């Protein structure tokens, strides 16, 4: 069974007002002190208002859920010592000023990309799924391309931007798309062609290094994994586990198709970008672009198509019953963006939305 690991980026906010606070260095210092110099799960990100954690690779989704819950709880406890709260929101609902992390690499990014870098206070969820080789990994990348927009729709958790409703379910993905190496990619066909394109992109000088290969899915630089990067950070940890479960099943399904000699769909990048835009705009409401036909279809039908596409893999991993129930719960209750808008209608202010989302972040896996 393939192992799965998750990286989540969280916002640091004032527990009273909900405004982002640039205190990641203080939080990380406290985390290092608690761990007495040992390696710990928490790392810095581009903006000082962010905190990232990563789980260990897990094969059992129950164990992954428990670790995500523990990491979120630890992050909340450590942040509280620095006078802030953590919240799993993919963008800040309230206005925020830029506060880029210090260091040579981040300074280069700030100077090279200007306003694009300064406005990048966005939080994503990255899922690592183990692979046997780069060849298998690239075969997987070629075959999961049409389905990544559905993961974005399920995870969408960023309706607000600088105090306004953006009109999108995932405005994070629109802001993130300003980087020059983001989004869907062409068919690679082989590991050699994948690595050649990465080298060529870095050689342009537009990117600082391979760490800035921000494809929606890529081969990890550090681990023998495919890293799926399309999702918003999810408000509820249960949604994170669902996204990870579906991501593993997508990798399993794609690898099986490759071994059986089934070619990938040849959808062009333009169609895939349109599907991603539709997912960001609509979430799981209204219509999405169906990965098979590349035509609009009701969101619930597209989500069911994803489920049926990976059903055999879910069953083989022992995840079938869980995934079915978790998808039903999400479709009936809405994604994070839907929850945030509902909270605004009930509470009347974006500060109150953030406060309630702080609580939900720490609520655990339901």
Res 362: pLDDT: 84
What confidence tens digit (pLDDT) does each residue in 153-166 have?
A: 999 999 999 999 99
Answer yes or no: is pLDDT of 10 > 90. Answer: yes
Cα angle 75-336-40, degrees, rounded to a multiple of 5: 20
With bands split at pLDDT 50, 70 and 90, how would you rate the model's confidence at 366?
Answer: very low
Q: What is the residue whose two structure tokens read 């690499």?
A: 105
Q: Tokens for 324?
A: 């079915």
Using a 10 angstrom Cβ sphere, with 0-12 exposed, 13-18 middle and 19 or more buried, the burial of residue 155 is buried
Phi, psi for residue 365 in degrees, rounded to 5: -85, 120
In sequence order, what DSSP letters do the residues of 248-290 get, joined into one string? HHHHHHHHHHHHTTPPPP---HHHHHHHHHHHHHHTTSSEEE-
The predicted model scores a pTM of 0.96
Name the nearest CA neighbour of 19 among 96, 87, 123: 96
Q: What is the mean pLDDT of the chain?
A: 95
Token pair listed for 165: 């409703």
Q: Where are the domains of the chain?
A: 4-361
Our measurement of the distance from residue 50's CA atom to the centroid of its chain's CA atoms, rounded to an integer in Å, reads: 14
Q: Indicate whether 37 pLDDT > 50.
A: no
- Which residue spans within the chain are E strands per DSSP? 4-13, 42-43, 50-54, 85-87, 124-130, 160-161, 164-165, 217-219, 225-232, 287-289, 296-298
Q: Give the Cα separation of 28 and 50 in Å (integer).
A: 11
Handedness of CA 63, 69, 73, 75 (dihedral sign): positive
CATH number for region 4-361: 3.30.590.20
Mean pLDDT of 55-62: 97
Query: What residue has token string 């069953």?
Result: 315
Q: Are 170 and 280 in contact (CB under 8 A)?
A: yes
Sign, CA dihedral 67-365-94-127, equals positive
What is the arithmetic mean of pLDDT over 237-257?
A: 98
> pLDDT tens across 115-140, in order?
999 999 999 999 999 999 999 999 99
Which residues, at least 6 apart from 79, have a Cβ–Cβ distance to it below 8 Å?
12, 23, 27, 51, 85, 86
What string of DSSP letters covers 132-146?
S-HHHHHHHHHHHGG
């Amino acid at each position: 069974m393939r192992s799965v690991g998750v990286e989540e980026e969280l916002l640091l906010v004032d527990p009273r007002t909900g405004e982002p606070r640039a205190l990641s260095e203080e939080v990380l210092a406290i985390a290092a002190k608690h761990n007495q110099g040992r390696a710990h799960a928490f790392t810095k990100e581009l903006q000082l208002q962010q905190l990232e954690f990563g789980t260990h690779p897990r094969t059992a989704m129950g164990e992954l859920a428990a670790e995500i819950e523990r990491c979120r709880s630890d992050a909340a406890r450590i942040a509280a010592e620095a006078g802030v709260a953590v919240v799993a929101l993919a963008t800040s609902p309230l206005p925020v000023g830029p506060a880029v992390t210090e260091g040579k690499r981040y300074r280069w990014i700030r100077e090279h990309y200007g306003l694009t870098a300064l406005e990048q206070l966005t939080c994503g969820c990255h899922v690592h799924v183990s692979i046997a080789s780069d060849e298998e990994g690239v075969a997987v990348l070629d075959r999961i391309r049409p389905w990544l927009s559905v993961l974005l729709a399920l995870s969408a958790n960023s309706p607000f931007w600088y105090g306004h409703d953006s009109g999108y379910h995932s405005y994070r993905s629109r802001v993130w798309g300003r980087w020059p190496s983001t989004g869907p990619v062409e068919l690679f066909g082989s590991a050699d062609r994948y690595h050649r394109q990465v080298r060529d992109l870095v050689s342009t000088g537009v990117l600082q290094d391979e760490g800035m290969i921000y494809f929606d899915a890529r081969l990890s630089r550090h681990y023998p994994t495919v890293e799926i990067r399309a999702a918003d950070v999810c408000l509820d940890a249960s949604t994170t586990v669902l996204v990870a479960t579906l991501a593993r099943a997508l990798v399993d399904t794609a690898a099986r198709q490759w071994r059986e000699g089934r070619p990938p769909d040849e959808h062009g990048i333009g169609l895939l970008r349109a599907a991603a835009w539709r997912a960001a705009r609509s979430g799981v409401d209204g219509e999405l672009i169906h990965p098979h036909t590349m035509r609009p279809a009701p969101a619930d039908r597209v989500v069911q198509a994803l489920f049926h596409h990976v059903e055999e893999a879910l069953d083989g991993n022992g995840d079938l019953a869980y995934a079915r129930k978790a998808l039903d719960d999400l479709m009936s209750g809405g994604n994070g963006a839907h929850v945030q808008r509902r909270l605004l209608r009930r509470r009347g202010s974006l500060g109150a939305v953030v406060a309630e989302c702080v609580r939900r972040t720490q609520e655990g896996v339901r």
